[in-house]
Amino acid sequence: MGDSRETSAPNAFVTGYPVKHSRSPLIHGHWLRTLHLAGSYRAVEVTPEDFPAFIAGLKDGSSDFVGGNVTIPHKEMAFKLADRPDDLSEELGASNTLWLEDGLLHATNTDGRGFTANLDERQAGWDSTDRAVILGAGGASRAVIQAVRDRGIREIHVINRTVARARELADRFGPRVHAHPMPALAEVMQGAGLFVNTTSLGMDGEEAPLIDFSPLAGNAVVTDIVYVPLKTPLLAQAEQQGFAIVDGLGMLLHQAAPGFEKWFGKRPKVDEMLRALIIADMDGH
Ligand code: ATR
């Protein structure tokens, strides 16, 4: 007979403030059910003030979780409080996935892997370009820049309304990353094979600026990390102008997979059934 720790099912969390909009419980719940695994995954709302105590409870085992996801605004603090943040988290200064291993709290950031896995799945060959353009220099942009750089794309151009933020990222991510103000957009798009929107432009039905994508390479891929709506105004424009597009929903689904495997021991699949489940949830709101 094993002791209770061996036989009890693993519990994982997503924490944020607020957290009720998180779709992670739907994703992990779907995988737990379809893989017939015992275990739970639930949303836990924690204020920034209470977050250190929440992490302390995780580390000393009093909270009965094996790990979890961390979302806004706790990603930076999660990184700081982890015992063993990995190299990806170190460079980003933020973690979204935590797990206990040998009594220590490990941390990684899976957003970049989610980004590349989504493109690999839906537009294989997207990385056969020397030049990428990334619109936006906020929190979400960092993991995208890191992932695109680590894929080997030689020139990465970050365009942002506040150019100082783009410069900060160019300094952080090394000589292949270049910063530009908005008016440089048409020029840096020349011949680029990848265009990524990481800004909130066009999110939730907001107006988006008109963009002429024609300077891009003919086989360029345009993607948006926003997934509400699924086809953002920028993606609709790019499609109308004849470019391949990839929506951002797959990034959300794929970023969840590494954590699930850590906590529950099985590699889950991102499939059409899961996509349909999340789309139905989006339609219901
Ligand atoms: P996130 O963590 O989701 O990336 P963020 O850090 O607030 O959020 O960043 C939002 C991004 O969208 C930034 O690049 C922001 O540009 P600024 O750095 O100049 O603020 C960009 N953004 C938001 N609204 C914008 C708008 N109306 N026009 C241009 N860029 C906008």
Q: Measuring from atom 26 of ligand 1, which residue has the nearest CA?
A: 201
Residues 174 and 128 in one domain: yes
Mean pLDDT of 139-165: 97
CATH number at residue 178: 3.40.50.720
What pLDDT was estimated at residue 3?
Answer: 40
Q: Is the pLDDT of residue 4 over 70?
A: no
Mean pLDDT of 232-255: 97
Cα 82-40-32 angle, rounded to 5 deg: 110
Q: Is the pLDDT of residue 225 over 60?
A: yes
What pLDDT was estimated at residue 283?
Answer: 86
Q: Is the CB of 12 under 6 A from ligand 1?
A: no
Q: Is the pLDDT of residue 6 over 80?
A: no
- Taking the CA of residue 161 as reference, the ligand 1 atom at the shortest distance is 19
User: For the chain, what is the mean pLDDT?
Assistant: 95
Residues 204 and 255 in one domain: no
Residues 126 and 187 in one domain: yes
Residue 202's pLDDT band, with cuts at 50, 70 and 90, is confident
- Please tell me the distance between residue 202's alpha carbon and the centre of ligand 1 in angstroms: 11
pLDDT tens-digit map of 11-67? 999 999 999 999 999 999 999 999 999 999 999 999 999 999 999 999 999 999 999
Left (φ > 0), alpha (ψ -120 to 50) or beta: where does 71 sit? beta
What pLDDT was estimated at residue 184?
Answer: 97
- Please tell me the distance between residue 139's alpha carbon and the centre of ligand 1 in angstroms: 9
Residue 7's pLDDT band, with cuts at 50, 70 and 90, is low
Residues 218 and 117 in one domain: yes
Q: Which of 75, 80, 231, 269 is catalytic?
A: 75
Q: Is the CB of 140 under 6 A from ligand 1?
A: yes
Mean pLDDT of 153-166: 98
Residue 157's pLDDT band, with cuts at 50, 70 and 90, is very high
Residues 226 and 257 in one domain: no
Residues 128 and 180 in one domain: yes
Mean pLDDT of 99-124: 97
Domain that includes residue 163, residue range: 113-247
Tokens representing 97 are: 């996935």
**17 class by beta-carbon count within 10 Å (0-12 exposed, 13-18 middle, 19+ buried):** middle
- Taking the CA of residue 199 as reference, the ligand 1 atom at the shortest distance is 12
Number of domains in the chain: 2
Residue 1's pLDDT band, with cuts at 50, 70 and 90, is very low
- Taking the CA of residue 182 as reference, the ligand 1 atom at the shortest distance is 29
- Taking the CA of residue 72 as reference, the ligand 1 atom at the shortest distance is 2
- Please tell me the distance between residue 115's alpha carbon and the centre of ligand 1 in angstroms: 18
Q: Is the pLDDT of residue 90 over 90?
A: yes
Instruction: Please say if 75 is a catalytic residue.
Output: yes
- Please tell me the distance between residue 163's alpha carbon and the centre of ligand 1 in angstroms: 11
